[in-house]
Amino acid sequence: MDRLTQLLNKRDNPNLHHAVIFIDLDSFKEINDTMGHNTGDELLKLVASRLRDVIRQGDTLARLGGDEFTILAENILQPLEAGSIAKKILKILKEPFIIDSNHFYITSSIGISIFPDDASSVEKLLQYADSAMYKAKENGKDTYEFYTQNLSKEAIQRVSILNDLRLGIKNQEFELYYQVQVDAKISKTIGAEALIRWNHPTKGLISPIDFIPIAESSGKIIEIGQWVIHQAMSDMVEFKNNNYDINKISINLSVKQLNDTSLLNDVKQALVDTKCKAKWIEFEVTETHVMDDPESTILILNELVELGFTLSIDDFGTGYSSLFYLKKLPVHKLKIDKSFIDDISRNSDDEAIVHAVILIAKSMNLEVIAEGVETQEQQNFLLTHGCNLTQGYLYSKPLPKKEFDKYINLHSS
């Protein structure tokens, strides 16, 4: 802060710019939690050493705290020079770190703000570089972003939602909606997917699209996920006590939950607390999350299966699947993504993809379910090609529990 303050005060050449480069390590927390703080500390030292090799003579490197570093790049002629430094950082941090004969791999997300283009105060330059870094994370990590005015608005909105999220968790403002899953061949409801909604006290119902990414990046998804698991299990016990003819409730697991070391204990405790049976619950994981770290994900999923849960791969076909890993995953069901169902009657490529996914599932003795079914024409295509399980607006939109109860009672009579 002192170096930056001095630099801004002594500006000699108006044609020169200064850049604040904000670096956040994407995978540090997992390594720190899994391998211990001693390993984490050693990794930070190695990261600092590599960063020191990248910066130019006269630039300043600092660690702000945790796994966050900043670089003050002085006297650059064009902002793109800061981008060149960021590219070097991304490259050098992807090379393996060796600690006690173990190889560790990390990536980084980088945000850049420019003086005087973006701001003329120390606080604003750091704030804007931080905002740009979060944008880099949202864009898939392992990349860098320059600050823009739009990012400032997004950052303000993100901070607002994050603050509200903390209160929302404390005040129990969340609610589960349920969307029925149907065996179309026999026109029978066989299950439902649990979907979270946020009843904000002043903003009304907030869509998961607006708060789940922020919950993910902030880590709040862990607390929210714990609540979802507990509530869905509790509701399922009530459904069974009411003799609803529902086999399973599907619960989505985020990548943060899959990486959380307490997941299995939380799930076991929820079973005890609610008296739910594991066979009544199906966990859904997205294809992209699985492929992020297939080896460790397989271990977690195997332990869930051993507890008696079933597993489904959500959004199948939208990521970068590996049939090699698919055959190793202990999954029971593939879910065809809505994006392929939307134009199934008008797009031959979508028809071919859906047909192929169904064939893959059948050949591997897996169930297959299609989401986003909205028309009878889509349903007829799926039935013709052997996909009997569906969910979508053709049957029902996601419903709050009371309306879901009415739906089940109406369609079971």
Which of helix, strand or coil describes residue 292? helix
Average pLDDT of the segment spanning 165-188: 93
| Model pLDDT, residue 277 | 97
Handedness of CA 113, 119, 125, 129 (dihedral sign): negative
pLDDT digits (tens, 9 = 90+) for 210-256: 899 889 878 899 999 999 999 999 999 999 999 998 999 999 998 88
For residue 152, what pLDDT band results from cuts at 50, 70 and 90? Answer: low
Two structure tokens written together for 152 = 């400032």
Least confident residue range of 68-72, 191-195, 289-293, 381-385 = 289-293
Enter the DSSP assignment of 97: E
For residue 270, what pLDDT band results from cuts at 50, 70 and 90? Answer: very high
Scanning the structure block, which residue is given the tokens 């299609």?
370
Q: How high does pLDDT run on average in the chain?
A: 88
- Is 60 within 8 Å of 72 (Cβ atoms)? yes
Taking the C-alpha atoms of residue 233 and residue 207, their distance in angstroms, rounded to an integer, is 22
Two structure tokens written together for 60 = 């300043």
Here the contacts of 387-392 (C-beta below 8 Å, separation 24 or greater) are 387/336, 387/354, 387/358, 388/183, 388/184, 388/185, 388/186, 389/181, 389/182, 389/183, 389/184, 389/190, 389/333, 390/181, 390/182, 390/184, 391/179, 391/180, 391/181, 391/182, 391/193, 392/179, 392/338, 392/341
Which of 286, 146, 265, 143 has the alpha carbon at shortest distance from 212? 286
Cβ count within 10 A of residue 305: 17
Which of 55, 85, 60, 80 has the alpha carbon at shortest distance from 72? 60
Two structure tokens written together for 336 = 């065809």
| Model pLDDT, residue 296 | 78
277-282-286 Cα angle (round to 5)? 155
Cβ count within 10 A of residue 166: 12
- Is 15 within 8 Å of 77 (Cβ atoms)? yes
* Cα 161 → chain centroid: 17
Two structure tokens written together for 126 = 């750091």
Domains plus CATH for the chain?
2-147 (3.30.70.270), 160-412 (3.20.20.450)
Taking the C-alpha atoms of residue 287 and residue 315, their distance in angstroms, rounded to an integer, is 6
- Quick one: how many helices (H) and strands (E) in the chain? 17, 17
Buried b (16+ CB within 10 A) or exposed e, 187-202: eebbbbbbbbbbeeee
* Residues sharing a CB contact under 8 Å with residue 351, sequence separation 6 or more, in sequence order: 344, 381
Residue 314 backbone phi and psi in degrees, to 5: -85, 155
* Residues sharing a CB contact under 8 Å with residue 220, sequence separation 6 or more, in sequence order: 162, 165, 166, 169, 214
Percentage of the chain beyond pLDDT 70 is 93
pLDDT digits (tens, 9 = 90+) for 364-374: 899 999 999 99
For residue 261, what pLDDT band results from cuts at 50, 70 and 90? Answer: confident
Res 130 pLDDT > 60: yes
Which of helix, strand or coil describes residue 245? coil
For residue 163, what pLDDT band results from cuts at 50, 70 and 90? Answer: confident
